[in-house]
Amino acid sequence: MSIKHWPADDRPREKLIERGAATLTDAELLAIFLRVGIVGKSAVELARDLLDRFGSLGDVVNASCEKFCDAPGMGEAKFAQLQASVEMARRVLAGQMRDAPVMSSTEVVNDFLRLSIGHERVEVFVALWLDAKNRLIEMQTLFRGTLMQTSVYPREVVRAALDKNAASVVFAHNHPSGNATPSQSDHLLTRTLKAALALIDVSVIDHCIVGVNRASSAMSSPPTVYSMAKMGEI
Protein backbone atom coordinates (compact mmCIF):
# COMPACT_ATOMS: atom_id res chain seq x y z
CA MET A 1 0.00 0.00 0.00
CA SER A 2 1.40 3.42 -0.96
CA ILE A 3 1.98 6.06 1.71
CA LYS A 4 -0.93 8.18 0.48
CA HIS A 5 -3.26 5.41 1.62
CA TRP A 6 -1.76 5.25 5.11
CA PRO A 7 -3.58 6.84 8.10
CA ALA A 8 -2.67 10.53 8.29
CA ASP A 9 -0.90 10.07 11.64
CA ASP A 10 1.49 7.55 10.08
CA ARG A 11 2.49 9.59 7.03
CA PRO A 12 5.99 11.09 7.49
CA ARG A 13 5.15 14.45 5.88
CA GLU A 14 2.01 14.94 7.95
CA LYS A 15 3.82 13.86 11.12
CA LEU A 16 6.57 16.39 10.47
CA ILE A 17 4.11 19.24 9.95
CA GLU A 18 2.04 18.30 12.97
CA ARG A 19 4.73 17.28 15.47
CA GLY A 20 8.04 18.58 14.13
CA ALA A 21 10.96 16.95 12.33
CA ALA A 22 12.62 15.76 15.56
CA THR A 23 9.78 13.27 16.14
CA LEU A 24 10.48 11.35 12.94
CA THR A 25 12.62 8.23 12.68
CA ASP A 26 15.67 8.14 10.41
CA ALA A 27 13.67 6.15 7.86
CA GLU A 28 10.81 8.65 7.90
CA LEU A 29 13.15 11.61 7.44
CA LEU A 30 14.90 9.86 4.57
CA ALA A 31 11.53 8.94 3.03
CA ILE A 32 10.52 12.62 2.93
CA PHE A 33 13.75 13.37 1.10
CA LEU A 34 13.17 10.50 -1.35
CA ARG A 35 9.55 11.62 -1.91
CA VAL A 36 8.58 8.49 -3.87
CA GLY A 37 9.41 4.81 -3.70
CA ILE A 38 9.92 2.27 -6.46
CA VAL A 39 7.74 -0.49 -7.83
CA GLY A 40 6.69 -2.68 -4.93
CA LYS A 41 8.14 -0.42 -2.22
CA SER A 42 6.91 2.76 -0.58
CA ALA A 43 9.32 5.63 0.12
CA VAL A 44 9.57 4.52 3.77
CA GLU A 45 10.37 0.93 2.78
CA LEU A 46 12.96 2.19 0.30
CA ALA A 47 14.46 4.38 3.03
CA ARG A 48 14.68 1.39 5.38
CA ASP A 49 16.44 -0.58 2.65
CA LEU A 50 18.97 2.24 2.28
CA LEU A 51 19.62 2.32 6.03
CA ASP A 52 20.08 -1.46 6.09
CA ARG A 53 22.40 -1.28 3.09
CA PHE A 54 24.69 1.47 4.44
CA GLY A 55 24.31 0.96 8.19
CA SER A 56 23.06 4.35 9.41
CA LEU A 57 21.68 7.67 8.25
CA GLY A 58 25.12 9.21 8.57
CA ASP A 59 26.61 6.50 6.37
CA VAL A 60 23.93 7.13 3.74
CA VAL A 61 24.83 10.82 3.72
CA ASN A 62 28.57 10.10 3.55
CA ALA A 63 28.41 7.37 0.91
CA SER A 64 30.32 8.02 -2.30
CA CYS A 65 28.35 8.91 -5.40
CA GLU A 66 29.19 5.54 -6.93
CA LYS A 67 27.99 3.50 -3.94
CA PHE A 68 24.90 5.65 -3.45
CA CYS A 69 23.89 5.32 -7.09
CA ASP A 70 24.34 1.54 -6.93
CA ALA A 71 21.39 1.34 -4.52
CA PRO A 72 18.00 0.55 -6.11
CA GLY A 73 16.01 3.69 -6.93
CA MET A 74 18.95 6.04 -6.41
CA GLY A 75 20.88 8.10 -8.94
CA GLU A 76 23.09 11.13 -9.41
CA ALA A 77 20.19 13.57 -9.10
CA LYS A 78 19.19 12.26 -5.65
CA PHE A 79 22.85 12.13 -4.61
CA ALA A 80 23.27 15.79 -5.54
CA GLN A 81 20.06 16.74 -3.73
CA LEU A 82 21.15 14.92 -0.57
CA GLN A 83 24.60 16.51 -0.53
CA ALA A 84 23.09 19.95 -1.14
CA SER A 85 20.70 19.44 1.80
CA VAL A 86 23.53 18.50 4.14
CA GLU A 87 25.65 21.44 3.03
CA MET A 88 22.74 23.83 3.60
CA ALA A 89 22.42 22.53 7.16
CA ARG A 90 26.16 23.02 7.75
CA ARG A 91 26.00 26.58 6.43
CA VAL A 92 22.99 27.44 8.59
CA LEU A 93 24.83 26.21 11.71
CA ALA A 94 28.02 28.02 10.67
CA GLY A 95 26.00 31.21 10.21
CA GLN A 96 24.59 30.88 13.70
CA MET A 97 28.11 30.56 15.09
CA ARG A 98 29.20 33.67 13.21
CA ASP A 99 26.31 35.65 14.68
CA ALA A 100 26.88 34.75 18.33
CA PRO A 101 29.82 33.81 20.58
CA VAL A 102 30.61 30.14 20.04
CA MET A 103 30.69 29.23 23.72
CA SER A 104 27.20 30.65 24.24
CA SER A 105 25.79 28.17 21.70
CA THR A 106 27.36 24.85 22.70
CA GLU A 107 24.59 22.75 21.15
CA VAL A 108 24.95 24.56 17.83
CA VAL A 109 28.70 23.87 17.86
CA ASN A 110 28.11 20.21 18.73
CA ASP A 111 25.52 19.83 15.97
CA PHE A 112 27.90 21.45 13.50
CA LEU A 113 30.71 19.08 14.46
CA ARG A 114 28.46 16.03 14.32
CA LEU A 115 27.33 16.98 10.85
CA SER A 116 30.81 17.93 9.64
CA ILE A 117 33.04 15.14 10.93
CA GLY A 118 30.88 12.74 12.94
CA HIS A 119 30.71 10.04 10.27
CA GLU A 120 34.15 10.37 8.70
CA ARG A 121 35.88 7.01 8.18
CA VAL A 122 39.34 8.43 8.92
CA GLU A 123 40.51 10.85 11.59
CA VAL A 124 39.98 14.47 10.64
CA PHE A 125 41.46 17.30 12.72
CA VAL A 126 39.74 20.67 12.36
CA ALA A 127 40.03 24.13 13.87
CA LEU A 128 37.16 26.53 14.48
CA TRP A 129 39.01 29.83 14.26
CA LEU A 130 37.34 32.57 16.32
CA ASP A 131 37.61 36.34 16.42
CA ALA A 132 38.07 38.53 19.50
CA LYS A 133 34.35 38.16 20.31
CA ASN A 134 34.49 34.36 20.04
CA ARG A 135 32.54 34.37 16.79
CA LEU A 136 33.40 31.90 14.06
CA ILE A 137 35.78 33.10 11.37
CA GLU A 138 36.07 29.77 9.58
CA MET A 139 36.23 26.04 10.15
CA GLN A 140 39.45 24.73 8.65
CA THR A 141 40.41 21.11 8.12
CA LEU A 142 44.06 21.02 9.15
CA PHE A 143 44.89 17.35 8.79
CA ARG A 144 43.37 14.09 7.58
CA GLY A 145 44.80 10.81 8.79
CA THR A 146 44.53 7.07 8.54
CA LEU A 147 41.73 5.04 10.10
CA MET A 148 43.33 5.17 13.54
CA GLN A 149 45.74 8.12 13.63
CA THR A 150 46.44 11.55 12.23
CA SER A 151 49.62 13.60 12.44
CA VAL A 152 49.22 17.15 13.71
CA TYR A 153 52.12 19.60 13.37
CA PRO A 154 52.08 22.56 15.82
CA ARG A 155 54.08 24.77 13.44
CA GLU A 156 51.41 24.38 10.75
CA VAL A 157 48.66 25.12 13.27
CA VAL A 158 50.41 28.32 14.39
CA ARG A 159 50.83 29.37 10.76
CA ALA A 160 47.13 28.78 10.12
CA ALA A 161 46.14 30.82 13.20
CA LEU A 162 48.20 33.77 11.97
CA ASP A 163 46.77 33.43 8.49
CA LYS A 164 43.19 33.60 9.84
CA ASN A 165 44.06 36.44 12.25
CA ALA A 166 42.37 34.39 14.98
CA ALA A 167 42.08 35.40 18.62
CA SER A 168 41.11 31.93 19.84
CA VAL A 169 40.29 28.46 18.58
CA VAL A 170 38.21 25.37 19.25
CA PHE A 171 39.93 22.22 18.04
CA ALA A 172 37.97 19.10 17.14
CA HIS A 173 38.63 15.70 15.71
CA ASN A 174 36.73 12.48 15.30
CA HIS A 175 37.39 8.97 16.56
CA PRO A 176 36.36 6.56 13.78
CA SER A 177 36.48 3.75 16.35
CA GLY A 178 33.37 5.29 17.92
CA ASN A 179 34.61 6.07 21.46
CA ALA A 180 34.61 9.84 22.01
CA THR A 181 36.74 9.68 25.16
CA PRO A 182 40.08 11.49 24.62
CA SER A 183 43.25 9.43 24.70
CA GLN A 184 46.48 10.33 26.46
CA SER A 185 47.88 11.45 23.11
CA ASP A 186 44.84 13.71 22.65
CA HIS A 187 45.58 15.40 25.97
CA LEU A 188 49.28 15.71 25.12
CA LEU A 189 48.46 17.22 21.73
CA THR A 190 46.10 19.72 23.34
CA ARG A 191 48.75 20.86 25.82
CA THR A 192 51.33 21.14 23.03
CA LEU A 193 49.07 23.21 20.79
CA LYS A 194 47.95 25.37 23.69
CA ALA A 195 51.58 26.19 24.56
CA ALA A 196 52.52 26.87 20.94
CA LEU A 197 49.55 29.17 20.31
CA ALA A 198 50.09 31.04 23.59
CA LEU A 199 53.29 32.41 22.04
CA ILE A 200 51.16 34.33 19.52
CA ASP A 201 48.35 35.19 21.99
CA VAL A 202 45.81 32.74 20.56
CA SER A 203 43.72 30.98 23.22
CA VAL A 204 42.62 27.36 22.97
CA ILE A 205 39.03 27.43 24.24
CA ASP A 206 38.17 23.77 23.78
CA HIS A 207 39.14 20.52 22.14
CA CYS A 208 36.16 18.38 21.17
CA ILE A 209 36.19 14.71 20.20
CA VAL A 210 33.36 13.33 18.09
CA GLY A 211 32.56 9.64 18.17
CA VAL A 212 29.89 7.41 16.70
CA ASN A 213 29.08 3.79 17.42
CA ARG A 214 29.23 2.12 14.01
CA ALA A 215 28.17 -1.20 15.47
CA SER A 216 24.77 0.15 16.49
CA SER A 217 21.62 0.05 14.41
CA ALA A 218 20.52 2.65 11.90
CA MET A 219 18.04 3.96 14.46
CA SER A 220 20.80 4.82 16.94
CA SER A 221 21.41 8.23 18.45
CA PRO A 222 23.63 10.73 16.62
CA PRO A 223 27.39 11.02 17.18
CA THR A 224 28.44 12.11 20.66
CA VAL A 225 30.73 15.06 21.35
CA TYR A 226 33.21 15.10 24.24
CA SER A 227 34.26 18.57 25.38
CA MET A 228 37.58 18.85 27.21
CA ALA A 229 36.61 22.32 28.41
CA LYS A 230 33.33 21.07 29.87
CA MET A 231 35.22 18.32 31.69
CA GLY A 232 37.76 20.82 33.08
CA GLU A 233 40.62 19.41 30.99
CA ILE A 234 41.66 22.58 29.14
Q: Parallel, antiparallel, or unpaired for β 124-130 and 203-211?
A: unpaired
User: Are both 76 and 154 inside the same structural domain?
Assistant: no
The pLDDT value recorded for residue 156 is 93
Q: What angle do CA 227, 228, 230 make, to 5 degrees?
A: 65
CA distance 230 to 234: 9
For residue 80, what is the domain's CATH number?
1.10.150
The pLDDT value recorded for residue 2 is 54
Dihedral angle over CA of 42, 48, 53, 57, nearest 10: 120
User: Are both 58 and 109 inside the same structural domain?
Assistant: no
The pLDDT value recorded for residue 142 is 93
pTM to 2 decimal places: 0.71
User: Half-sphere exposure (CA, 13 Å, Cβ side) for 180?
Assistant: 22
Residue 120: domain span: 102-227
The pLDDT value recorded for residue 161 is 97
User: Are both 72 and 126 inside the same structural domain?
Assistant: no
Residue 208: count of CB within 10 angstroms of its CB: 24
pLDDT (tens digit, 9 = 90+) per residue, 203-223?
999 999 998 755 444 334 567
For residue 152, what is the domain's CATH number?
3.40.140.10
Pick out the chain residues at pLDDT < 50: 1, 215-220
pLDDT (tens digit, 9 = 90+) per residue, 83-118?
998 888 888 888 877 787 776 678 888 888 988 888
**Domain count within the chain:** 2
The pLDDT value recorded for residue 19 is 86
CA distance 19 to 23: 6
CA distance 204 to 169: 5
- Is 220 contained in some domain? yes
The pLDDT value recorded for residue 4 is 58
User: Are both 170 and 108 inside the same structural domain?
Assistant: yes
CA distance 37 to 31: 8
